[in-house]
């Protein structure tokens, strides 16, 4: 059986010892290391390439959310589970948006963390600790909308207009570059907003960045 490799990121050593004591009886789980802060966490992720990172949101200097963003951007196969005392829904939402897969409050039964590790390792989200059903509904809705936007087919010309617009070109500059009229450019922008359910140029630029239409 392939073991699940786990890195613990926590600035309180007593909590690290508690997690180690909890996980050690499970043969399928292997604690490969631990880190006390964000800098050490990134070093250990690079060095050890864990499957799962169990992390507190509240870390010194750089927050666990920022560390999550760095991990998910650079090591997409590594999945983050928050094991934290924080129950602030906005903060937790930011954590999931940063790429976290699981959230387990420290006051939950120890078995919840074991369950979270197995589910997250299988690619599932673990949200049993979320404060309200409203949060779960809101998060899943935002994920669905994000996927829908990513799946919306745009024409080649619409992609060209979106790319040039996101680079800061005016309607006239886009028209000159593509050898079309300004009115046609405006029509393409209108169609883009309608297709994507977006209502401003700024949101179109964000969409272009999120979907790798332009690089920053």
**pLDDT per residue rounded down to tens, the chain (216 residues):** 789 999 999 989 999 999 999 999 999 999 999 999 988 999 999 999 999 999 998 888 888 889 998 998 889 899 999 998 866 777 787 888 788 988 888 888 888 899 999 999 998 888 765 544 556 556 556 655 555 455 667 888 998 999 888 888 889 999 999 999 999 998 998 888 888 887 777 778 877 877 777 765
Q: How far apart are CA 216 and CA 9, in angstroms?
A: 30
pLDDT at residue number 143: 59
> What sign does the CA torsion over 164, 165, 168, 173 have?
positive
pLDDT at residue number 41: 93
Q: How far apart are CA 160 and CA 202, in angstroms?
A: 17
If one counts every other C-beta atom within 10 angstroms of the C-beta of residue 205, the result is: 19
């Amino acid at each position: 059986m392939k073991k699940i490799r786990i890195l613990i990121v926590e600035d309180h050593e007593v909590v690290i010892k508690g997690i180690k004591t909890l996980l050690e009886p499970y043969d399928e789980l292997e604690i490969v290391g631990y880190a006390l802060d964000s800098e050490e966490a990134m070093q250990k992720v690079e060095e050890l390439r864990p499957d799962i990172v169990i992390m507190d949101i509240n870390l010194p200097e750089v927050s666990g959310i920022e560390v999550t963003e760095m991990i998910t951007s650079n090591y997409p196969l590594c999945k983050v589970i928050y094991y934290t005392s924080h129950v602030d829904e906005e903060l937790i939402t930011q954590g999931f948006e940063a790429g976290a897969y699981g959230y387990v409050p420290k006051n939950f039964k120890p078995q919840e963390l074991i369950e979270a590790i197995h589910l997250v390792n299988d690619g599932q989200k673990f949200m049993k600790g979320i404060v309200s059903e409203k949060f779960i509904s809101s998060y899943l809705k935002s994920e669905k909308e994000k996927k829908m936007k990513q799946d919306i087919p745009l024409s080649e010309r619409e992609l060209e207009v979106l790319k040039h617009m996101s680079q800061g070109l005016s309607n006239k500059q886009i028209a000159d570059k593509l050898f079309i009229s300004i009115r046609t450019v405006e029509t393409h922008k209108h169609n883009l907003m309608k297709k994507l359910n977006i209502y401003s140029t700024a949101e179109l630029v964000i969409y272009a960045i999120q979907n790798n239409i332009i690089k920053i």
